[in-house]
Amino acid sequence: MTLSEWVTRDQNLSFSRGTIAHARRWRHLCALTRGMIESETDVQVLDRALDYIKQKRPPRGLRGGHPTTNFTVWITNHLRALETDNIPAGENWLKMKGEQK
């Protein structure tokens, strides 16, 4: 499953109510993997996933050990990495490496 498919499946689960639906949403949240995040290159999909995860995280003080904490860090770091991949090589890079990225 890709991150895009994961986000789309979440949109379908969001309309469900009740205890069983809550368990399904929890399993869906826990099905997210770091590999799914790191293989995604579409910034819009990453932003949508980050918005979803931020809605599902517990209040401050209760976030330690909750899976949304790691997911938030992974997505944010991956977004920053995608942004820096588009920065042209500067003088320091060229002096150290002698070539373009």
pLDDT per residue as tens digits for the range 4-21? 888 887 666 666 667 777
Q: For residues 45 and 36, what is the distance between their CA atoms, to the nearest angstrom?
A: 11
What local confidence, expressed as pLDDT, does residue 58 receive? 79
pLDDT per residue as tens digits for the range 36-92? 999 998 999 999 999 988 888 878 887 788 888 889 999 999 998 888 766 665 666
Tell me if 75 sits within 8 A of 37, measured CB to CB. Answer: yes
Which residues make Cβ contacts (< 8 Å) with residue 25, sequence separation at least 6? Answer: 10, 13, 14, 16, 56
* C-alpha separations of 63 from 10, 40, 48, 54, 56 in Å: 21, 25, 20, 11, 11
What local confidence, expressed as pLDDT, does residue 44 receive? 92
What local confidence, expressed as pLDDT, does residue 25 receive? 78
What local confidence, expressed as pLDDT, does residue 53 receive? 87
Tell me if 1 sits within 8 A of 37, measured CB to CB. Answer: no
